[in-house]
A and B are shown apart, each in its own frame.
Chain A
Amino acid sequence: MNESSVLIIESDPIVRDSLCEWLKSTGFDVTCAESAEGIVKIVEKRDFNIAIMDVRLHGETQLAILREMKAIRPWIKSIIITAYPQEETVLEAKKIGIVDYVVKPIDLDDLQRIIHGTIESIYKDNINAINIESSVESSTEDLIPGIKKSFAISRDNLALMVENLLKETEVVGVKAKQGKYVYDKISGFYELSLDYDVTVSPPTRYLLPERETLLKFRTDNNHRIEPVIKYTPRVIMGVHPYDIKAIELLDEVFMTHNPDPNYIARRENTVIIGVDCLRPSPGSFAPSMGTNWTETGFDLLLTDIGNSYIIKIGTERGAEILAKYAKYRLPTGDEIVRQKKVRGEALSRYKLALDIPRDRIPKILEDSYDEPYWESRSISCLSCGSCVMVCPTCYCFDVRDEIALNLKDGERFRCWDGCMLVDFAKVASGENFRRDKASRFRHRMFRKGKYILERYGKLGCVGCGRCSSACLAGIASPLEAFNSLADNIRLKEAATRVVQPAKQEQDIYIPEMAEILSVRQLTEKEKVFELKLKSGKQLGHYPGQFVSLSIMGVGEAPLSISSSPLRGKNFELAVRSIGDVTSALHALKAGATVGIRGPFGNGFPLKAFEGRDLLLIAGGIGLFPLRSLIQYVTDRRYDYGKVNILYGCRAPAERVFTDELELWKNSKDIDYHETVDRPCEGWTGNVGVITNLIDKVEIDVKKTMVAIVGPPIMYKFVIEKLKKRDVPDAHIYLSLERRMKCGIGKCGHCQINSIYTCQEGPVFSLTQLRSLREAVL
């Protein structure tokens, strides 16, 4: 595998010829010269890995030429041969940077050792440099990686490498199709287009397929649930740097917090062989996003420099592949210069660019939240989802159940979903938290330029330009949006890092089985279920948290926990029958088994509540989550000051947990007030909206903490009332409803601006909510 080139400068023809022959026989490409004069011209014309030079007595001429040669091609390793090893000559030569010297008469073994040592050191420098992190560069000059990590490979040898890989593994690569390019399985090197501009859909689908089974189950008494982690080991050949950057973002999302076993298995079995994009598509603005080159995220990276490729090693796995499957050699200085040149030329081919530095995008967006731009620009939006479906950094998904016709065997699968689709943020009750086109359009741009960056330290747009060419309405380009909204404030972009998978404790998608111990009807549409985990473990929740309840075959729904964690191993879920899962749950009786994932979310800030007066306000079934806190507080009554509970319902028939309401009413420790909007015959209590009750309560604004759970409309009026009483924002806590699908901060459905309700919520202080404009209060 050695094609290293050696230049010999030796005046003695016997020594010269014997050296030349010997080196040729050991596989070197050898060039010989009689004298040092004229060497500069040779070196200018072509490149060498090693130069062996005879240095005579004093040898000023030779040393001067050595210096000149070093100046032209600094990477050439020089070895001198001398019959007169005078101290000052050797010292001077070492200053110039020779590797070693050999004393005449030449001991060939000695010379061989030195030459091999030199070759090895060049190779080692490459390998050692593999894992050294380098930051993303900003100028072309800095972008060019040094010789240290790179080798050269001829096109034929690259073909051979691919053919060798194909014998052992699946290889996916870029093929030409109907005038466009697509990723597809290849059966030979000849099918590859390594000089493509952009593919129709990104390679990320091989890591996050459009549909993927997460679990298989059988809905009999045993409730067998098995994780399904399926992957094909494969090599993806010809990934452009911007897509590599996108994969690095996905790594961050799926491998760090709440590691996703399916993604990780696939990622670890995918080899990425990148290729520099030298012929950018007209819609690309990768240089503006800092994604036209990459130093990380690939196993191997190719640069097409004409008749050969520079191949750069990114990982040990890449080095192994190269060593095992390919014939390669050290690049000549010429080739390095050529790489620099083709990259420079590529950079000049981009037609689009940001008008502003990319670190200003988040601030520009922040300042543009209320701009009429979103409304006017999104008028023609088809809500067709094309932009998100072709985006390499979009990863949101839906999770659904599919059951076989025998109604027993089924699977839970995830499939692509996108925030531009009409029903993305719609919950079972019919409420859609991002109903209009403009808010969806804005949300997508904020994810691309701000939210994802804030969460994962990497921008959500890599500038590939796929969305803008997929958008028939011609409005999808983040570049166009960012440029249109540009202003003058700077923000620092977070640094990039190489992602290591976090430790996986258990499969985050597998529900734990729980038994329904009892079912109690609360109202016509509401029941309370007492449950126990079959493992015997305590749920371990805090008041205000929620679980995802599974009925295999029907699906999964987020439900708040209604009981206090202080009340034994069992827990209660009070549930209104409103969607598929809750209707199915209502049909179940004691003894039935359901799946539970969680508890999820943050819960109420118990520490902040300690020692304070509490004002707990519930509207309608808002009492379901709040009951957990009320029970907790009554069980540790001595930890709190005055406790006021306010409860409002539309009608007396809709009051839930009436026995407990009675207890609170009669308790000396608690002040309890309730009201209904529409009284029925026989109702003797308060009538009117819940805000009237607030007037009945004494509030010490310094001491009082408020927790509110109810419908969105109630929040608006209750907050208004509390603000009139001067309760500070930081003392007011609310629990928000959103479409919580995965519960682990990945699927994207519950996002409110930059935060995920299932992670940072569902309980928020009003101070926090003031900065979340989508929370609309």
Chain B
Amino acid sequence: MKPKVAFFDFTGCEGCQLDALNLEAEDLIDLLNGIDIVNFREVMTEKADNYDIAFVEGSITTEGEIERVKKIREQAKIVVALGACACIGGINCLKNHVPMEEALRIVYGKDAHYYNTIPARPADAVIKVDYYVRGCPPATSELVKVIKALLLNKKPDIPNYPVCVECKMAGNICVYEKGQTCLGPVIRAGCNAVCINSGRYCWGCRGLVDEPNIESQKDILTKYGLTAEQVIEKFKIYDTCSEVLK
């Protein structure tokens, strides 16, 4: 019996779902041999409320979304958070730094009173999440890795070490050596240091490792010339700051 799989979207750009579809045709066929996709708004009109595995994408930003994600949890045997917004809150959490009324006014202007919103949060702030497919967007290969692990009934090999490990494996010159700063030393690897490989630095989209040494990372950022505010800003983009500020 193939497991029934559903994809649900909450607040986000839906890029993660799009990326999920970015499989080679051959792999897609193999994937569909292993699972039945029963609910995936972005690609199909059919809908079924009977599923075993639910992928939830996006962060939770309204009361309605809280109810909806709770229902999904009740139905699904396994819930997987898909992408940075669902896993750690992500970019949506930038609004949490201003009062909600202010956020509504900035976005919707004079129509703000039509809408309501709550501070953005990751899926696991509301429900229990079994697995995480991290990243903004997650690498298709990582999604596939997690699906394969679920089918084999084993824990997915998602590293609990920082990006530095994969960055060194890639043979990169450290971002700090170039006089810039980077969140690599505290952010969970698994991305193969893709941003640094392409000449950028780590923004933190995969969230913190289990035991990040935040104090040391702050010291290093300060040593490399950042002010305390800039350090927080650095962690803000994907909301690793809420963990950092704890």
Contact = CB atoms under 8 A, between A and B. Distances in A.
A and B held together in a complex: yes
Nearest to A587: B153
Contacts of B176: 472
B148 interface: yes
Interface in B206-221: 209-213, 215-217, 219-220
Nearest to B219: A380
Point out which of A472, A553, A555, A584 has the most chain B C-beta atoms below 10 A from its C-beta.
Answer: A472
A129 interface: no
A386 interface: yes
Contact of A580 (B154, B169, B220): B154
A376 to B, nearest CB: 13
Interface stretch (B9-17, B72-80, B127-135, B157-165): B157-165
Interface in B176-215: 176-178, 184-186, 209-213, 215
A384 B184 contact: yes
Nearest to B174: A470
Interface in A362-411: 379-386, 389-390, 400, 403-407
A580 B155 contact: yes
A472 B34 CA distance: 45
A211 B213 CA distance: 27
Contacts of B125: none
B173 A180 contact: yes
Interface in B23-40: 27, 30-31, 33-34
Interface residues of A, number: 46
Contacts of B219: 380, 473
A554 interface: yes
Contacts of B154: 554-555, 580, 583-584
A307 B220 CA distance: 44
A422 B209 contact: yes
B161 A383 contact: yes
A201 interface: yes
B152 interface: yes
Contact of A405 (B27, B157, B162, B216): B27
Contacts of A389: 164-165, 168-169
Given A385-B168, A389-B164, A472-B185, A403 B173 contact: no
Contacts of A404: 30
A182 interface: yes
Contact of B161 (A183, A385, A405, A472): A385
A421 interface: yes
A385 B173 contact: no
A418 interface: yes
Contacts of B171: 182-183, 200-201, 205
B103 interface: no
A422 B161 CA distance: 7
B118 interface: no
B169 A382 contact: no
Interface in A409-431: 415-416, 418, 421-423
Nearest to A384: B164
A472 B165 contact: no
A767 B78 CA distance: 49
Which of the listed residues B144, B152, B185 has the most CB atoms from chain A within 10 Å of its own CB?
A: B152
21 contacts: A182-B173, A200-B172, A210-B170, A381-B213, A381-B216, A382-B217, A384-B161, A384-B164, A384-B165, A386-B168, A386-B185, A389-B164, A405-B34, A421-B160, A421-B161, A422-B160, A469-B177, A470-B168, A553-B152, A555-B154, A580-B155
Given A384-B165, A421-B165, A422-B211, 18 more contacts: A178-B173, A178-B178, A179-B178, A180-B177, A200-B174, A384-B162, A385-B165, A404-B30, A405-B144, A407-B34, A407-B151, A421-B161, A469-B177, A472-B220, A554-B152, A580-B153, A580-B155, A587-B153
- Cβ-closest 6 pairs across A and B: A389-B168, A405-B30, A580-B154, A384-B164, A210-B169, A380-B216
